[in-house]
Amino acid sequence: MLSFLHVEVFYLLALAALPATCVTQHCKASPGDSTWPSINEWNSLNQSIHGTLIRTAPAASPCYPGNPFGAPGNCPTVKDHWSYAAYHAMWPESVDYSIYANNSCVPPGVDGYSTDKGCSIGGLPQYIVNATTEQHIATAMKWASDRNIRITVKGTGHDLGGRSTGAYALSIWTHNFKHIERKSNWRLPGTNTTADVVVCGSGNNWGSVYTAVHKMNRTVVGGEDATVGLGGLIQNGGHGLLSSHYGLASDQVYQLTMITSEGERLVANDIQNQDIFWAIRGAGGGQYGVVTEFVMRTHPVPENVVAGGFSFYPSQNSNASEIASWTALAEVAAHIPDLMDIGYTGTVMVRTEKKAISYPGQEEESYISSAIISLTGFNITVQRMNDTLNKLVAQFDSEHVNINIQALSSKSYWSSTKPNPMASASAGAVSLMTSRLLGRRELCDIPKERLVTYLQEIMVSNKPNGGSMLLFGLQGGKGTAHVPKSRHGSVHPAWRSAYTHTMAYGVSVNATGDPSQSLKAGADWLNAALEPVWQKWAPESGSYMNEGNPFSSNWKHDFYGDNYDRLLEIKHKYDPQGSLFVWSGVGSDEWNYDLNSGLLCRV
């Protein structure tokens, strides 16, 4: 009897076996599996999506004998452009930080290249949909989910934690979703009020949106780099020049359209699909589905924009100078919230040891540290900013700290947002960092000596004298705090009391080593050396996932806070097969992605 039942169950499963997903597979499919689709099946997928399927051909393939994947272009061009973010964005498969694609095919001589590695598809997706319609995306995602195939999503490939690539995946490339349309009287769903919005395809980058809205005498809250895409930036929050005035980019979204891994098209806003609308505005990005369109609020162009700042460094190679410069840094950090409340935004960039920059007359050995404070003020005069800066530096020990005040200038807002794609040349290296959202509690309400200690502890490096960089982004403050609760998505609640998004770059990763081992070594060091500092300094706070440590051992708390459980329910509802996986993603602990085998398996 028992064995009869067993046979019957087997028979039922066999009937359902095309496609074979009734059984929960242990791992996502890979090309060696019997369930991996045949060439004919890929061809029929291609036909059903109007010939938009691309077999991955790594950009650097022409650098290898015989151009094994027949990619267009030539090796010197690829190599010359490898450090430009805009270049990787042009290619269907390329990502800025190739270590997350297992350095599978990189041009000779760049970071991550090793002589014995060769060129393979390896950690890159196997196939890519060069989608131009929502139908292409829906058909391809359903097809892949039905066949237990991993799905990845690429907009620009700029992700700093490798979340837009993945081995054995079918990648959805949103590059061609480039429409931008202004609707100055767009009715807010469920109300009789209207707002001035732009309706933007998710494949746009900020450069194209800023350019379009500039022509309309409006602006939007977006990122500070023209080459960054809407898709990834908005879905995890998104900060920029105006976030400290109007809130995060995700706070400006009134509606979005998303295709699920089951091939369903959802329009999400305040009155329909509210759960996904909430989840995507904070915890999205390659996790819940593919967003094709955002409807975003526009704002008037800021007037009376003034830029300026100052830098300082220890005046001598002495303990007294070193102490004085750390004290000056703590002084600056403690003043950030007040500066932001006046209306300033900008960055404070600190570098130590080998990462410190030199100043005229300084001996190389004396690069103990350097700090650059760059501020932009809106609705402000040059005199007012000058007073602010003079007052701040007056508190420094000028005997032991050298201060250079930068010339102040008023400028047009457009000069700060005007795209300069060649400016973004940080691609092609290794990216790994950790970050924290800090507010008055962490910057102002603690004794200055303790602040100095935290600053010193977060700026340690895993390389002797390697030095570190610490970047305070003045991006929260009144802007994120005053966003009405009804517009909050699922971004970490700590944004509502944070003033700075603070990034620490003390970890150096062996680029030429085995990628999974090198990343693990870097992550282990971060988890042992830097994460505990944040936990002590800002235990209740969190981290901005777009610029955070994708391997943080405390990732649920740090990236999602109290929102996690609800986000997990929504993840299971819209991506029941777990087709979409990203490191530190919601529910990512149900899976293990092994960069070495390329397999994504249930734990």
Ligand X SMILES: *[C@@H]1O[C@H](CO)[C@@H](O)[C@H](O)[C@H]1NC(C)=O
Ligand Y SMILES: Cc1cc2nc3c(=O)[nH]c(=O)nc-3n(C[C@H](O)[C@H](O)[C@H](O)COP(=O)(O)OP(=O)(O)OC[C@H]3O[C@@H](n4cnc5c(N)ncnc54)[C@H](O)[C@@H]3O)c2cc1C
Residues lying near ligand X in the complex (CB under 6 A): 46, 51, 53-55, 92, 102, 104, 117, 120, 122-123, 130, 132, 167, 176, 191-192, 217, 245, 300, 302, 317-319, 343, 378-379, 382-383, 386, 390, 408, 510, 512-515, 596, 598
Which residues, 6+ apart, have CB-to-CB distance to 74 below 8 Å? Answer: 62
Which two three-digit tokens encode residue 433?
A: 């960092």
User: Total binding residues for ligand Y by CB under 6 A?
Assistant: 35
Shortest gap between Cβ of 224 and ligand Y (angstroms)? 4
Residue 498 φ/ψ, nearest 5 degrees? -80, 150
Binding partner of residue 587 among ligand Y, ligand X, none, CB cut-off 5 to 8 Å per kind: none
- In terms of phi and psi (left: phi > 0; alpha: psi -120 to 50; beta: otherwise), the region of 408 is beta
Residues between 8 and 67 that touch ligand Y (CB under 6 A): none
| Complex with ligand X: residue 196 or 569, whichever CB lies closer | 196
Beta bridge partners of residue 403, listed in sequence order: 312
Binding partner of residue 153 among ligand X, ligand Y, none, CB cut-off 5 to 8 Å per kind: ligand Y
Residues 546, 160: Cα–Cα separation, whole Å: 7
Shortest gap between Cβ of 336 and ligand Y (angstroms)? 17
Which amino acid, 69?
Answer: F
Report the Cα–Cα distance between both ends of the chain, in Å, rounded.
33
Residue whose Cβ sits closest to ligand X? 122
Residues 550, 330: Cα–Cα separation, whole Å: 28
| Complex with ligand X: residue 46 or 398, whichever CB lies closer | 46
Binding partner of residue 546 among ligand Y, ligand X, none, CB cut-off 5 to 8 Å per kind: ligand Y
| Complex with ligand X: residue 3 or 185, whichever CB lies closer | 185
Binding partner of residue 130 among ligand Y, ligand X, none, CB cut-off 5 to 8 Å per kind: ligand X
Query: What is the tally of helices (H) and strands (E) in the chain?
Result: 19, 20
Answer whether 123's CB lies under 8 Å from 165's CB.
yes
476 near ligand Y, rule: CB under 6 A: no
531 near ligand Y, rule: CB under 6 A: no
136 near ligand Y, rule: CB under 6 A: no
Binding partner of residue 217 among ligand X, ligand Y, none, CB cut-off 5 to 8 Å per kind: ligand X
Answer whether 147's CB lies under 8 Å from 19's CB.
yes
Binding partner of residue 582 among ligand X, ligand Y, none, CB cut-off 5 to 8 Å per kind: ligand Y
Interface residue with ligand Y, options 37, 232, 302, 467 (CB under 6 A)? 232
Interface residue with ligand Y, options 153, 408, 437, 443 (CB under 6 A)? 153
Interface residue with ligand Y, options 112, 223, 247, 561 (CB under 6 A)? 223
Shortest gap between Cβ of 55 and ligand X (angstroms)? 4
Nearest 10 degrees: CA dihedral of 53, 59, 63, 68? -10
| Strand stretches in 180-330, DSSP E | 180-187, 194-201, 218-219, 253-259, 265-269, 290-297, 299-300, 305-314
Shortest gap between Cβ of 7 and ligand X (angstroms)? 38
Residues 415, 238: Cα–Cα separation, whole Å: 20
Residue 265's Cβ-count burial label (10 Å; 0-12, 13-18, 19+) is: middle
Stretch that binds ligand Y, among 228-236, 360-368, 444-452, 571-579 (CB under 6 A): 228-236
| Complex with ligand Y: residue 201 or 598, whichever CB lies closer | 201
202 near ligand Y, rule: CB under 6 A: yes
Interface residue with ligand Y, options 52, 94, 103, 164 (CB under 6 A)? 164
Interface residue with ligand Y, options 285, 337, 377, 587 (CB under 6 A)? 285
229 near ligand Y, rule: CB under 6 A: yes
| Complex with ligand X: residue 184 or 512, whichever CB lies closer | 512
How many residues are there in the chain?
603
| Complex with ligand Y: residue 37 or 207, whichever CB lies closer | 207
Per-residue contact string for residues 166-195; x = within reach of ligand Y by CB under 6 A: --------x---------------------
| Complex with ligand Y: residue 369 or 500, whichever CB lies closer | 500
CB atoms within 10 A of CB 484: 8
Residues 154, 176: Cα–Cα separation, whole Å: 11
Binding partner of residue 552 among ligand Y, ligand X, none, CB cut-off 5 to 8 Å per kind: none
Which two three-digit tokens encode residue 537?
A: 């300094």
Interface residue with ligand Y, options 79, 163, 355, 571 (CB under 6 A)? 163
Answer whether 205's CB lies under 8 Å from 223's CB.
no
| Complex with ligand X: residue 93 or 547, whichever CB lies closer | 93
Which amino acid, 317?
Answer: N
Shortest gap between Cβ of 474 and ligand Y (angstroms)? 12
Q: What share of residues in the chain are helix, strand, coil (percent, to 5)? A: 35, 20, 45
Residue 263 φ/ψ, nearest 5 degrees? 85, 15
Binding partner of residue 225 among ligand Y, ligand X, none, CB cut-off 5 to 8 Å per kind: ligand Y
Shortest gap between Cβ of 343 and ligand Y (angstroms)? 19
Shortest gap between Cβ of 345 and ligand Y (angstroms)? 11
Interface residue with ligand Y, options 28, 154, 175, 297 (CB under 6 A)? 154
Shortest gap between Cβ of 353 and ligand X (angstroms)? 14
CA distances from 403 to 181, 388, 448, 590 (A): 47, 15, 20, 52
Answer whether 457's CB lies under 8 Å from 533's CB.
yes
Residue 98 φ/ψ, nearest 5 degrees? -65, -15
Residues between 322 and 381 that touch ligand Y (CB under 6 A): none
Closest CA to 209 of 268, 253, 247, 260: 253
| Complex with ligand Y: residue 124 or 368, whichever CB lies closer | 124
155 near ligand Y, rule: CB under 6 A: yes
Residues 3, 142: Cα–Cα separation, whole Å: 35
Nearest 10 degrees: CA dihedral of 93, 95, 98, 100? -90
* DSSP structural state of residue 562: G
Binding site for ligand Y (CB under 6 A): 85, 96, 153-160, 163-164, 174, 202, 223-225, 228-229, 231-233, 235, 238-240, 285-286, 290-291, 424, 426, 546-547, 582
